[in-house]
């Protein structure tokens, strides 16, 4: 298959690309504007004649001459710090970028796969979040350039599927961590590991009682591939239901890094969700997928990778 992946040199996009290249006879067209992605993430793939990297922003029209069979739209800044730094680009990646990539899928008769997010549930009032939950999102708040763009992206995908008979799938990705995360994009896992390794203060926003559920990138990508290969043209949560508070996460990281860092408490960012936990029953039953890597194992791999990055 000829597979186009926007955000192909990003954190999740690069892991997905690697798996797709290693299986079967796929040719990959990786599109990225390198705003938050990096060719470093895919340099080991670029020697292959089956990989074509195109530096391009999805907010601009995309023209590919070769026939494309499958489109993954994964391009977007995705951490609160990154989308706050690039607010308009984030808004456009989810809106115009989704329309552009849907248009490309329509023209090529390709299947379409949208990377959505647990952020479509906003600051959820029900827990765990099932795919049926419509969410609790501040439409003009400080996270809205990401949350609402992704909600629009889902609406656009559903509308194109209904209107033009395109086959589409949507994955709502919950907090994912692992090698190739950007170390400076402010996410809690990287921030805390870097601080712990440097014996610097560990920054806890708010009182640290807010919860997240962390999925190791290999598990997340396995879920994405299970959905790709299934005959389900539908919306699925992919994540690890192992919910914990940020304070609990900090103790695990302190233990695994054997760090002497102290906790310091900072203001909680506006609209920071108080809880987040995926209900993955639908994915388990329909895709025969579930996460396999427990938190300590995944964090240990991540810590080893970060140590190497810091030593560079
Ligand atoms: N957080 C924190 N300290 C940090 C970075 C993040 O306490 O140094 C908190 C943040 O306020 C949020 C949670 O950790 O409640 C997860 O933040 P992240 O940016 O990783 O992702 P989010 O799930 O909010 O998109």
Is the beta carbon of 240 within 6 A of some atom in ligand 1? no
Residues of the chain with pLDDT > 70: what percent? 100
- Total of domains in the chain: 1
Rounded CA-CA distance 120/146 in Å is: 9
Is the beta carbon of 80 within 6 A of some atom in ligand 1? yes
Protein residue with its CA nearest to atom 17 in ligand 1: 188
* 303 assigned to some structural domain: no
CATH number at residue 39: 3.40.50.720
- Taking the CA atoms of the chain, what radius of gyration do you get in angstroms? 19
Read off the pLDDT of each residue in 103-112 and give the average, rounded to a whole number. 98
- Which tens digit of pLDDT belongs to each residue from 208-258? 999 999 999 999 999 999 999 999 999 999 999 999 999 999 999 999 999
* 53 assigned to some structural domain: yes
What's the token pair of residue 252?
């695990």
Q: Which residue has the tokens 């705003």?
A: 35
* 297 assigned to some structural domain: no
As a dihedral over the C-alpha atoms of residue 142, residue 147, residue 150, residue 156, rounded to 10 degrees, the angle is -90
Q: What is the DSSP string of 198-216?
A: TTPPEEEETTS--EEE-EE
- Which tens digit of pLDDT belongs to each residue from 33-54? 999 999 999 999 999 999 999 9
Average pLDDT, the chain: 98
pTM: 0.98
Closest alpha carbon to 121 in 146, 103, 97: 146
Rounded CA-CA distance 38/60 in Å is: 19
Closest alpha carbon to 160 in 73, 238, 236: 73
Which residues are annotated as catalytic? Answer: 146
- Which tens digit of pLDDT belongs to each residue from 135-172? 999 999 999 999 999 999 999 999 999 999 899 999 99
Q: Which atom of ligand 1 is nearest to the CA of 187?
A: 20
Range of the domain at 135: 2-177+215-241+277-292
How much is the pLDDT for 24?
77
How much is the pLDDT for 284?
98
What's the token pair of residue 181?
């995360």
* 255 assigned to some structural domain: no
Strand 243-245, strand 70-73: pairing: unpaired
User: Ligand 1 mean position to 187 CA, how many Å?
Assistant: 6
Whether 193 shows a pLDDT value over 90: the answer reads yes
- 212 and 249 Cβ atoms separated by less than 8 Å: yes
How much is the pLDDT for 299?
98
Is the beta carbon of 202 within 6 A of some atom in ligand 1? no
Whether 308 shows a pLDDT value over 90: the answer reads yes
* 21 assigned to some structural domain: yes
User: Ligand 1 mean position to 33 CA, how many Å?
Assistant: 25
Greater confidence (290 vs 25) lies with 290
What's the token pair of residue 211?
């919860």
* 194 assigned to some structural domain: no
* 195 assigned to some structural domain: no
* 157 assigned to some structural domain: yes
Protein residue with its CA nearest to atom 23 in ligand 1: 175
Whether 2 shows a pLDDT value over 90: the answer reads yes
Q: Which atom of ligand 1 is nearest to the CA of 119?
A: 25
How much is the pLDDT for 209?
98
Read off the pLDDT of each residue in 4-23 and give the average, rounded to a whole number. 97
- Per-residue pLDDT band for 25 (boundaries 50, 70, 90) equals confident
The three-class DSSP label of residue 116 is: strand
Closest alpha carbon to 158 in 98, 68, 91: 98
The three-class DSSP label of residue 86 is: coil
Rounded CA-CA distance 136/271 in Å is: 10
């Amino acid at each position: 298959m000829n597979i186009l992946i926007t955000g192909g040199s990003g954190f999740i996009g690069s892991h997905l690309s690697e798996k797709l290249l290693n299986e079967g006879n796929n040719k990959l067209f990786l599109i990225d504007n390198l705003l938050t992605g990096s060719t470093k993430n895919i340099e080991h793939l670029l020697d292959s004649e089956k990989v074509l990297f195109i530096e391009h922003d999805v907010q601009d029209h995309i023209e590919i001459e070769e026939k494309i069979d499958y489109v993954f739209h994964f391009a977007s800044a995705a951490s609160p710090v990154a989308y706050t730094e690039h607010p308009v680009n984030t808004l456009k990646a989810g809106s115009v970028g989704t329309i552009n990539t849907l248009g490309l899928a329509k023209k090529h008769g390709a299947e379409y796969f949208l990377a959505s997010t647990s952020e479509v549930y906003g600051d959820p009032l029900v827990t765990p979040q099932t795919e049926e939950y419509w969410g609790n999102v501040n439409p003009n708040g400080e996270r809205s350039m990401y949350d609402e763009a992704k909600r629009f992206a889902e609406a656009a995908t559903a509308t194109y599927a209904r209107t033009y008979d395109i086959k589409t799938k949507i994955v709502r990705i919950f907090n994912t961590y692992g090698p190739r995360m950007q170390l400076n994009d402010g996410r809690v896992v990287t921030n805390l590991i870097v601080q712990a390794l440097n014996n610097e203060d560990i920054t806890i926003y708010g009182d640290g009682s807010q919860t997240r559920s962390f999925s190791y990138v290999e598990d997340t990508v396995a879920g994405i591939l299970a959905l790709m290969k299934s005959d389900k043209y539908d919306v699925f949560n992919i994540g690890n239901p192992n919910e914990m508070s940020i304070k609990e996460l900090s103790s695990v990281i302190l233990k695994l890094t054997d760090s002497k860092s102290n906790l310091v408490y900072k203001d909680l960012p506006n609209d920071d969700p108080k809880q987040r936990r995926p209900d993955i029953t639908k994915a388990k039953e329909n895709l025969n997928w579930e996460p396999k890597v427990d938190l300590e194992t995944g964090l240990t791999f991540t810590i080893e990778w970060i140590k190497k990055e810091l030593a560079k």
